[in-house]
Amino acid sequence: MVYDPGKSLHSLHPLKETSSVYGGLHPISRSFGYGAGEVCKDVFEIGKVSSHMSEFQQLVVEVIKRKKTRKLFIPNVFYEVAGYHAPHMIHRVANGTGLGGSNYTLSQESRLDQVKGQLTHLSCRLREYGAEEVRDCLHRRPRTRLIYVGDSRIRQHVEVMLDLIRPLNPVLTTHKGQTITVGDFLGDKGMRQWKKYKHNFTVECPGLYVEFRWAPLLHLRTSEKGGVQPEFKVGGWDFLQALAEAEEDKMPDLLVLDTGAWQLHQRLETVLDQIDDASVYVMTKLRPLLARLAQRTTVVWTLPDPFKDYISHEYSRMSYFSHQTNTILEWVLNAQVSLPPLGIIKWDSFLPVAHAAVSDCVDLYVGNVSLDLLPAFNSFPSIMAWHCTERMHIGMEALSLAVQMTLNHICNPYMDGDYCCSS
């Protein structure tokens, strides 16, 4: 059984600077179809209220905006509360008519279809892109070059995007120059040989170039490795430094970064040491480099999705107890909100959806629903589609909405209709 809500998810768009809420000038924004210095943040950043919001949701949005503007601590609960009104995939029914005779059933519409593209915490409406709409967008845009740098939580954005644009016949090339089919990359072969295929790779099709760089520790040099699983603890500093000095035609239209989960993997003497090292120190070190990058392109910093704290920590031979909990992650998130330089887009609009996805998993556990009843999602097997048994990742089904946000940011200025960031 495969869950297919109808249209696939895929949309890219630029950001339009229209008020004092937005800061920083991006010369490369011309590739998005806007004038000099115009960058629209409406897709990525929570902060504008609108008439379609309930009074309660307006209050939540205003509080988040005020705390971000004043650089005050934002408890994770505000994003979780915003997620109460985000579209859920698991819904309660009566009389045991749900999955496996339970009182919970699976929506037959995608999250975006459920709300007709209007997330309650955003002031503008999202368009849902399929492969053909993406093809149309790429034909209209002068170029589309995207670079993602971070860990598996951001790499899976690229995988969902790759699945969506499969009809465009993308060419996928590994860091060793080997071409691999999309089916092999997204399937068992790619999962079994992660380092060979998914460590670093590029995706190309007419009008589109996407690059992923594995660098879960952005603040470290590539050579600074050590400790447990050193092959995974790769720094991103050298790559970002080279990018900041690259020729214009090598610069991306959009640079998407994430970090946080692997920073919490090591164990320091105290929790306060952990917080200082993983949040304040990291962002302070990255700040000058991020400022240089923000002068040359649009930089989107993806704030960390919540962990699933109902799943216990791993104590296997290859791992040990870590500080990868939502309580500690709050401090990392707030450092990433408060410390980047002006001009960096801090992507928090997906967080309510991520919390809704975690809530869906909790409902399944509370309802004692067998996870075997959950369907696959497009190319992704059930276990990856929903990720209810794994602490670190939001399911591919939910990430498809994050991909739609990215596509809306890039494509809407070139497409007809009244959507977020439309020209």
pLDDT at 321: 58
Cα 47 to Cα 42: distance, rounded to the nearest angstrom = 8
pLDDT at residue 33, rounded to an integer: 42
Residue 111: the pLDDT is 97
Per-residue confidence at 106, pLDDT binned at 50, 70, 90? very high
The percent of residues in the chain predicted with pLDDT above 70, rounded, is 88
Termini Cα distance of the chain: 40
Average pLDDT over residues 106-128: 97
- Region 319-346 average pLDDT: 88
Confidence of residue 9 (pLDDT cuts 50, 70, 90): very low
Q: What is the pLDDT of residue 22?
A: 29
Reported confidence tier of residue 8, pLDDT bands at 50, 70, 90: very low
Question: What's residue 28's pLDDT?
Answer: 37
Which carries the bigger pLDDT value, residue 71 or residue 193? Answer: 71
- Does residue 275 surpass a pLDDT of 50? yes
* pLDDT of 178: 94
Look at residue 168 in the predicted model and tell me its pLDDT.
Answer: 97
Structure token digits, residue 249: 């035609």
Does residue 282 carry a pLDDT above 90? yes
Question: Residue 38 has what pLDDT?
Answer: 72
Q: For residue 233, what pLDDT is reported? A: 86
Give the pLDDT score at 190.
87
- The structural domains of the chain, with segments of one domain joined by +, span 2-414
- Average the pLDDT over 3-10 and give the result: 38
- Could you tell me the pLDDT band of residue 226, with boundaries at 50, 70 and 90? low
Question: Does position 20 have pLDDT exceeding 90, yes or no?
Answer: no
Asked whether the predicted pLDDT for residue 10 surpasses 80, the reply is no
- Mean per-residue pLDDT, 286-308: 97
pLDDT at 17 over 70: no
Please give the Cα distance from 81 to 104 (Å, whole number).
21
Q: CA-to-CA distance for 41 and 409, rounded, in angstroms?
A: 8
pLDDT at 64: 97
Look at residue 37 in the predicted model and tell me its pLDDT.
Answer: 53
Stretch 165-190: mean pLDDT: 94
Give me the pLDDT at residue 331, please.
Answer: 93
Please name the residues in contact with 244: beta carbons below 8 A apart, sequence gap of 6 or more: 289, 292, 293, 296
Q: Distance (Å, rounded) from C-alpha 25 to C-alpha 133? A: 29
Question: DSSP assignment of 129-196, as one string?
Answer: P-HHHHHHHHHHSS--EEEEEESHHHHHHHHHHHHHTGGG--EEEETTS-EE-HHHHHSHHHHHTHHH
Question: Which pLDDT band holds residue 224 (cuts at 50, 70, 90)?
Answer: confident
Kindly report the pTM of this predicted structure.
0.90
Separation CA 231–CA 175 (nearest Å): 15
pLDDT band of residue 230 (cuts 50, 70, 90) is confident
Q: What is the mean pLDDT of residues 360-364?
A: 97
Q: Is the pLDDT of residue 31 over 50?
A: no
pLDDT interval class at 21 (50, 70, 90): very low
In terms of Cα–Cα distance, which of 349, 406, 368, 360 is closest to 386? Answer: 360
Taking all residues of the chain, what is their mean pLDDT, rounded to a whole number? 88
Torsion over CA of 333, 339, 340 and 341, rounded to 10 degrees?
Answer: 160
In this structure, what token pair is assigned to residue 267?
A: 């164990």
At residue 133, does pLDDT exceed 60? yes
